[in-house]
Amino acid sequence: MNYVEYLNNLIRSEVLRNDNSVLFGQNINAGSYLSGLTKNIKVNLHSRIINSTNAEYSLTGFGFGLMMNGASGVFLLKQLDFLLLGIDHIVNTYNIIRNLNDKYPKGSFTIIPTIVDSGFDGPQSSFNNFNDLCSIARVKGFTISNKSEADYLITNHLFEPGFRIIALSQRLGKQEIIDENPPINIFCNGEIFQYSNGEDVTIVSSNFSYPQANKLSNFLKKNKIKASHFNISSGLIENLSIIINNASLTKKIILVDDSKCIQTSAEQVLPLLANCNLEKTLILKRNLNENWLSPVSDIFEIDEENVLYNLTN
Q: Kindly list the residues in this chain that would bind another protein in the complex (CB under 8 A).
A: 20, 22, 46-48, 50, 52-53, 55, 57-71, 73, 88-89, 92-93, 96, 99-100, 103-104, 107
- Alpha-carbon gap, residue 202 to 276, rounded angstroms: 12
- Alpha-carbon gap, residue 184 to 190, rounded angstroms: 12
Backbone angles phi, psi at 75, to 5 degrees: -105, 115
Q: What is the number of residues in the chain?
A: 313
- According to DSSP, the residues that pair with 192 across neighbouring strands are 187, 232
Q: Pick the closer one to another protein by CB: 72 or 169.
A: 72
Sheet hosting strand 280-284, strand order edge to edge? 185-187, 192-196, 227-232, 201-206, 252-257, 280-284
Q: Pick the closer one to another protein by CB: 93 or 234.
A: 93
Q: Pick the closer one to another protein by CB: 109 or 195.
A: 109
- Alpha-carbon gap, residue 198 to 3, rounded angstroms: 28
* Min separation Cβ 88 and another protein, Å: 6
| Cα distances (Å, whole numbers) of residue 277 to 199, 201, 230 | 15, 13, 19
Q: Is 224 exposed, middle or buried (0-12, 13-18, 19+ CB in 10 A)?
A: exposed
Q: Pick the closer one to another protein by CB: 52 or 129.
A: 52
* Min separation Cβ 49 and another protein, Å: 12
User: DSSP class of residue 121?
Assistant: -
Q: Pick the closer one to another protein by CB: 158 or 243.
A: 158
Q: Pick the closer one to another protein by CB: 61 or 198.
A: 61
Smallest CA-to-CA distance from 111 within 49, 27, 167, 55 is with: 167
* Min separation Cβ 87 and another protein, Å: 11
Half-sphere exposure of 150 (CA within 13 A, CB side): 22
Most distant pair of Cα atoms in the chain: their distance: 64
* Min separation Cβ 83 and another protein, Å: 14
* Min separation Cβ 56 and another protein, Å: 9
CB 46 within 8 A of CB 19: yes
* Min separation Cβ 90 and another protein, Å: 12
- According to DSSP, the residues that pair with 163 across neighbouring strands are 109
Q: Pick the closer one to another protein by CB: 88 or 180.
A: 88
* Min separation Cβ 162 and another protein, Å: 15
* Min separation Cβ 86 and another protein, Å: 9
- Alpha-carbon gap, residue 26 to 52, rounded angstroms: 5
Q: Pick the closer one to another protein by CB: 55 or 184.
A: 55
